[in-house]
Each structure stands twice: as C-alpha cells, then as structure tokens.
A and B are shown apart, each in its own frame.
Chain A
C-alpha cells in the first residue's frame, strides 16, 4: 500500500488552537514512532498565528499543513469535507485522527462515507497490531458496558475520532523542528449551500465541560437550582466547571450543554465530582473514564460508589458547605 503518514486534525476557535489539537498529537506521536512514519497536523481554516502553529511542532508534529481561505473561517461540513478529501487523495495518509468534538464527529463520518474508509468513533485507546500494522481502536459501547477493539483491515486511510481529554498534550520541546506548509484552498471545493448566520455564545463562561480538567456535577440530590451555587463555588476554587445529570437538567437546574451522560456529553477530566448523583448507567457512560472520581451520596448502595476512587456516604448539604469552607482556608 502506498498510504503513509499519520494525520491529526487540529481545531481552532476564534483564531486560536483548541487543546484537543495538542492532545491528538500525543496520540499521533506514539503511533508515528511505532510505525516510523511522519506525524502531520492538519488545520483547515482557523486563522491561527504562526507562533501557535509552531507549537504544534514543538508538541509532536513533524509537519503542519494549513489550508487557508476566508471561505474556511466557519466550520461548514460540506466545504471542510471537500478540502480534506482533496488533501487525502493527494497525500494518501495511512491514519487520520480527529477529536470526538461536535465538529470532528461531523466531519469524519462525512469524509469516511465519501472515500469509503473505516471510521471508529470516540476511541479511548489506540494501538498497532503486530504483523499487519493495522490501527487497533478501542472504544466503549453499549452504555460503557463493553470495550470493543476495532480495526479497518482493508480500507485506507484508517480513521478514528478520539475523546477529548483522554490523553495529555506532550510537553513543549523547543529543539523539535518541522515544516509548516500552507496550501491554498481550491475555489471549486467551496460548497455555498449552507450559510452560517450567527454564533450565539453559551451564556455562561464554562459551558465547554469537555475541555475542563475538573468537572463538578450535581444530580437529583441537589434538590433545587439554588443549591447549584455551591457546586459553582467549589468548581471555581479549582478552576473547574459544573456538570449535571440528566435528572438535574430535566428539572431545569442546569442547561443542556452541561449534561453529562449518554444523552448529553462524554467527559474525561482528571477529576470528576458527583454530588447527589446515584450513578445510573447512562450517567456512568458519560464520565466513567475520568482519571479520578469523587462522589458524595446519602445512599450507601448508590452505583456511583462502585466507580469512585473516593466516596462519602453522607448528606451533601453538610459535606459540600464544609468542603467549600475548609478549601477556602487551604487556598489562603
């Protein structure tokens, strides 16, 4: 096969690279070293400054390919898909990794369908099969009840989306060198059908719960919306954000973008706090891969304790204020 090289798809927002761009490079670096291939970070649009693009190299990329044009300022899947497919056909990468973000999970299936490539969604582990050099892609399925390992033996490129926060960016290595290649966008690849009318901000600053290292979540046990203030209090002390169970969102205590679980977002933070969350399987599916899980619940039998590294069986209305109070002193 003539397909060579590992690509990771960088993402930008408001002129800056998103953290997932660097996380993907640490995944990609391992594969590139194992397969002795070039690691390429591909950025479509984004208007990112050169110095930030250099950081992609310092954090693992051998090459950065930027496709630039004002027509790529906004993510429109049809145009992005055309641009990526054109590049794939020209360069023939062996593996393409994208973040399992809303845009990654839109672009990758669009591209995979058109080029008839295998795509595995929302992977938590990646490896290489000995002998065949096939990419082994491991992902949770059926509400996190199973881990399936998947490969695409015959189709190239092998494509996968990877959960945000499921790997850490590599440290900056100033000695790393690489190439930044800017490719003009071919006008015929522009799909004019869909129009971006407006961007509406999420209303609060920490709506992007998937990119946070610390998520402090509340469930039915929070009892009312006012009590969520205590969660915000705790989250802000640690630079974290607030999440919520489906029960809490359905009761209007938190907005849908904060919902963690099967019908909400999947998060993989360093630390996940669960207050008054019993741990229904649908909720566990959205947070079980967090590095550390800390939970407080009155019900000793609550399933959340099964997945917790630290649990307190007790009244969160006693524990949470005291924790906030003691942490306040610690910080001082």
Chain B
C-alpha cells in the first residue's frame, strides 16, 4: 500500500508573539514544528503500513528549512520525504498550494491512500485536503476518526459529524483527512532519527513539475489578503476574588445577577 501524507511546517503557536506595530508574527525565536494535527495523519499512515505493508511518503511544500519537518516525519516512521520548494510558490493560498501538491504527488508515483491532517494550526482553513481530492478526483472522507478496515481495493472509515459518526466505504485510491481521535502519535525513536539524518530528501522545484506558471504563488492564488489586524485580547471584565465564605456568596450572587442582565436565566 502506497501512502502519502501531505504535511505542513508551522510556527509553534502556543507562544506566538505579534508585532503590535505591523500586525505580523514575530518569527525570531519561534520554533517551527510539524503541524500538530498532521501527527495523527502520520501515525495512522505508519500503522496502516505496519499492518498492510507498503510505504509512507511525507510531502511538504515550503521553504528549504521545511526539510526539518520531513526528517521528523521520517524519524517517526515514514519511509521517504519529498520537499516541494521554489520561490515561485511563495504566497500561495489553499487553491494554489493544492494545485502544486497534486503535481508533486503525481510525480511521486502510484498512490493508494493520501492521509492529511484535518487542518493546519496556523492558517486553520482545513481546505487543502479536500482541494487535493477534488483536483485528483479521488473519493474523499473528511474528519475521519477511525479506519475500520482496509481491503484490497477499498477502505472503511468512520467520519465525525456534528451529530455523531457516519461509516463510509471508499474505493482506493482515496483521500482521508483525519482528526485527533484516530491515533496517538508516536515519538521519534533514536534509530528513526539516525535514519532520518541519512535519508536523502529530493526537492521538487518548478522545473521538476508539470505546472502552469499562472497558477503558482501569490500571483496564481484566487484569494488576496487585504488587511491583517491584531484583535484586542482583553475584555476587561469584572473579576471577583473569593477569599472566604462571605466573598464566595457575594461572587456567586453577582454572577447570577450578571447572568440575569445577559438574559442567560
């Protein structure tokens, strides 16, 4: 079974600092990591390979430094990594990113299953997975929380919906986007890290891919960012401190009064 996992390198968002002047992210000193939601995709892909044989290839589009994310994926147990990198890809929105990734996946070769994280924690769109399925005309299941079975030519999955779950059967090749319920990502092993350090990671540039220049990067993206604002975080609400029985009652009474003004009760 040939598995491909498209991943994204993202800034570690738990300690993102914004420049209040420019409204842009301060990248200095911010660590780049594999998008945390992609780890679940990597894990389930490795598990499927372990059970059914085959190989897992992680692919990412990004700057040359995104090579690090691919090596981490290999250290976890992916067999190969492919970096898709070219200055002409810079500024791509989800449409253009998916367009290029599809060309890269087609170049990698025959694929049975593409597994992607549900979304990336920086852009937070969740669009590239469905975009790739649409462009390659592959059957798609999003928000997959369990892979129930893999047959020769099909996969049965559970998909998380607002109301519960639904069970779908997709013929292969297919594309899944997965949620964290699907797996517990393993940590890289020492042996994995050693292998990752030695693995040769090819870079696909514009010259290597059958792409149309007009569909690349900012220029090839249907969407444009007009404005970036840093929202005000503080709401400056009332804060009550409970120190004893009396202040406890006072705080709860005030809360109930507050709830009444907001017509909650």
Contacts and interface: CB of A to CB of B under 8 A. Distances in A.
Contact of B14 (A153, A200, A281): A281
B249 A106 contact: no
Interface stretch (A38-46, A221-229, A310-318): A310-318
Contacts of A292: 262, 264
A141 B124 contact: yes
Contacts of B161: 102-103
B224 A152 contact: yes
Nearest to A204: B164
A72 interface: no
Contacts, number: 280
A128 interface: no
A223 to B, nearest CB: 18
A285 B140 CA distance: 27
B252 to A, nearest CB: 5
B164 A262 contact: no
B158 interface: yes
Contacts of B211: none
B226 A311 contact: no
A36 interface: no
B241 A300 contact: yes
B189 interface: no
B231 A102 contact: no
Interface string A286-298: 0000001110000
Q: Is the interface of A mostly helix, strand, loop or mixed?
A: mixed
Interface string A24-47: 000000000000000000000000
Contact of A293 (B36, B135, B165, B235): B235
B164 A319 contact: no
Nearest to B248: A318
B15 to A, nearest CB: 8
Interface stretch (B51-59, B167-175, B195-203): B167-175
A118 interface: yes
A217 interface: no
Contacts of A13: 162-163
Contact of B234 (A200, A208, A306): A306
Nearest to B229: A147
20 contacts: A13-B162, A110-B130, A113-B95, A113-B130, A121-B126, A136-B226, A142-B25, A145-B13, A146-B18, A147-B230, A193-B170, A193-B171, A197-B156, A199-B166, A200-B167, A201-B163, A203-B164, A211-B162, A323-B252, A326-B252
5 smallest CB-CB distances across A and B, nearest first, come from A314-B242, A118-B222, A202-B164, A109-B130, A113-B134
Given A121-B126, A271-B262, 12 more contacts: A77-B142, A105-B130, A106-B143, A109-B128, A113-B130, A121-B125, A237-B265, A238-B265, A262-B13, A309-B258, A310-B254, A312-B252
